[in-house]
Structure 1
Amino acid sequence: MGPFRLAVLDDYQGVSGEFADWSSLPVQITVFRAPLGSPADVTRALEPFDAIVAMRERTALPGDVLRALPRLRLIATTGMANAAIDLRAAAGCGITVCGTTGMAGAVATIEHTWALILALARRVPRHDALVRAGGWQDGLGTTLHGRTLGIVGLGNIGRGLIPVAHALGMRVTAWSRRLAAVPAGVDAPGKEAFFAGADVLSVHIKLAPSTRHYIGAAELALLKPSALLVNTSRGPIVDTAALVAALRAGRLAGAALDVFDTEPPPPGDPLRTAPNVVLSPHVGYVTRESYAQYFPQLVEDVAAFLAGQPIRVLEEAP
């Protein structure tokens, strides 16, 4: 029958071996450091494997791919939800899907969101490039004190922005279609007033069919021309075409993005040439601390499965 083969996907930094003790598992490990490509490429690459370790939603595992992998028995993914994995198809194929717990990734994303807000408001990438090229000051930054931070969605990450905003002297507002309880110190105006009043708009909702293009041309048109948009959630939540059009027309002062419709974005992606943007390669949750939490649990997932007692099993929501 051969050895139990495990594929570790999307180890972009080549550090999975530093954080995971793969030698403790009776398996044959193959580490993939680059994206696998199209669904057909993913299927070809993963056909020989019994198990997959998936880092968040870097590689999509839809039903068509899973059904083409008859040897696959286990997927261990970081987090207790992964929109890139078709859980219904996995169950139908007899594939167990396990996850990891903990807040290190959320804390890291909160910090990275603020890094992007500050970099955008104070034009840090632009000035860094100027100094490196022998230049000096160009353009004016924006003071956040006294401005309004508008948070789309108040989950763990959205709520985590609030104390920092208050420390900076910002007013905080929140909105979503299903906004629940709002904490003290946060206003919840109606949709139009929310978008019209935001100086910095930060996106923090989960991607689902109902949230694709949650922020589109109509919502962007409500923003003031001096507003800044930051997205560290998922790319398709914001309509990229509408965002690029607003930036190029000067109807939006800038955008900072850690997520894209296609990751990595292809060479012709319009965001690569859009004005007044700060781009980072989906690293909001990528820190030593989050990896130190994720990878040991992934090893535990595989070990428990091999022992016939899977842990942290993910199931499709009813």
Structure 2
Amino acid sequence: MNMETILVTGADLAPPALKLLSNFELIFAGKAPTEDDVIALCKRHNPIGVIVRYGKFARAAMEAAPALRVISRHGAGVDVIDLDAARALGIDVRAAVGVNAAAVAEHAAALLLASAKSTVKLDERMREGHWDKSTHKSQELGGKTVGLVGLGAIGRRFARIADAMDMKVIGFDPGARDLPDYVEKVSLGDIWTRSDVISLHCPLTDSNRMMINADVLAKCKRGVMLVNTARGGLVDEDALLDALRSGQVFAAGLDSFAQEPLAADHPFLKEANVVLSPHVGGVSVETYVNLGLTAANNLLSMLATARQQFQSSIPQTKRRTKGSS
């Protein structure tokens, strides 16, 4: 008996997730699957479900798999999935919302501290034989204002960390409710003008693409710091580079970029006041397991719902009763 197929756009899943999906044939697309790779695998295996880890999952891939019923995101952001196409094709999509909140918030804090304290630069200098004790001056974060764009699970977790460091926390999120008393809800304009640090924790949409641009950076306090563990498309990278070089932005801690992987000749790589990481904010030992389990459970739940809906759509034939002709 042929097993139904699940495609994973990655090279692996956590062992507990593999166990949950043991009744399916799992196909793995590899560590860095291209769109063409994914389309080819969909054509070859016609999966009933997909777990999206890396890369984009667009309409062409969906159309290449007529059996496809559900897409489960191995992460919180669904901007890598063509939601309009999924909706039009009757494919259910679900993300693992909030599962990686601790990992991303901690990574944002690490980037902020590295930016304020110049830890990467000092490490490099020491390895080159320098001892900058008499010349280096770091920035203290206590008493400074951090502006959060996005107050979901990650933003709120980061807010707790910032509050513990005696920072004043302000935040913008039209949908946020029941905020803790240490978070002041403000307008987006207030974020730009009042913040000593701006940290991005929002999804990427058509309306906020390149929200951090030259005009916005000009409104900010001179010497502002920027942390982005959300999506690279939120930032106009050329404008940020200009602001870093002019001193308008003191430092930036970046975990996501407009194009990934970052090109070998990208100017960020030569900027001393930029701390970089390869979009790993949501990656930890614990999150790897929990994301895998959540993605697998979401997929199974959606498949069960889809099958129930299919069964209920089949007209019920009248059964012959005993003695009927």
Shorter-chain TM band: 0.7 to 0.9
Moved more, 190-199 or 116-125: 190-199
Q: 1:189–1:2: structure 2 CA closer, same or farther, 3 Å change rule?
A: closer
Partner of 2:9: 9
Classify the secondary structure of the residue corresponding to 2:100: helix
Q: In the TM superposition, what is the alpha-carbon distance from 1:262 to its structure 2 partner?
A: 1.6
Classify the secondary structure of the residue corresponding to 1:20: helix
Classify the secondary structure of the residue corresponding to 1:272: helix
Equivalent residues, number: 304
Match of 2:81 among 74, 82, 85: 85
CA contact (8 A) 1:7 1:53 kept: yes
**Percentage of matched positions with identical amino acids:** 31
Q: In the TM superposition, what is the alpha-carbon distance from 1:19 to its structure 2 partner?
A: 4.1
1: CA distance between counterparts of 2:56 and 2:18? 25
* Aligned: 1:109 with 2:104: yes
2: CA distance between counterparts of 1:105 and 1:72? 27
2: CA distance between counterparts of 1:247 and 1:48? 48
Q: In the TM superposition, what is the alpha-carbon distance from 1:240 to its structure 2 partner?
A: 1.5
Partner of 1:75: 71
Match of 2:93 among 94, 97, 106: 97
* Aligned: 1:168 with 2:165: yes
What TM-score comes out, normalization by structure 1 length? 0.82
1: CA distance between counterparts of 2:59 and 2:100? 27
* Aligned: 1:53 with 2:51: yes
Q: In the TM superposition, what is the alpha-carbon distance from 1:230 to its structure 2 partner?
A: 0.3
Match of 1:155 among 130, 152, 177: 152
Q: Deviations over 1:151-189 (max 9, x none)?
A: 122222222222322221212222357776654233455
Q: 1:302–1:152: structure 2 CA closer, same or farther, 3 Å change rule?
A: closer
* Aligned: 1:294 with 2:273: no
2: CA distance between counterparts of 1:115 and 1:23? 34
CA contact (8 A) 1:63 1:90 kept: yes
CA contact (8 A) 1:54 1:78 kept: yes
Moved more, 164-173 or 40-49: 40-49
Classify the secondary structure of the residue corresponding to 1:256: strand
Partner of 1:206: 203
1: CA distance between counterparts of 2:19 and 2:274? 40
CA contact (8 A) 1:48 1:71 kept: no
Q: In the TM superposition, what is the alpha-carbon distance from 1:26 to its structure 2 partner?
A: 3.0
Partner of 2:318: none
Match of 2:58 among 57, 62, 67: 62
* Aligned: 1:274 with 2:271: yes
Classify the secondary structure of the residue corresponding to 2:198: strand
2: CA distance between counterparts of 1:168 and 1:186? 14
Q: Which runs of 5 or more structure 1 residues have no equivalent in the other structure?
A: 314-318
Partner of 2:315: none
CA contact (8 A) 1:120 1:254 kept: yes
Q: Which runs of 5 or more structure 2 residues have no equivalent in the other structure?
A: 310-325
Match of 2:120 among 105, 125, 128: 125
Q: 1:175–1:72: structure 2 CA closer, same or farther, 3 Å change rule?
A: closer
Classify the secondary structure of the residue corresponding to 2:183: coil
CA contact (8 A) 1:67 1:89 kept: no
* Aligned: 1:247 with 2:221: no
Q: Deviations over 1:118-151 (max 9, x none)?
A: 1111111112222333333374221111211111
Q: 1:181–1:22: structure 2 CA closer, same or farther, 3 Å change rule?
A: closer
Q: 1:2–1:123: structure 2 CA closer, same or farther, 3 Å change rule?
A: same
Q: 1:53–1:190: structure 2 CA closer, same or farther, 3 Å change rule?
A: closer
Root mean square deviation, CA, Å: 2.9
Partner of 1:26: 23
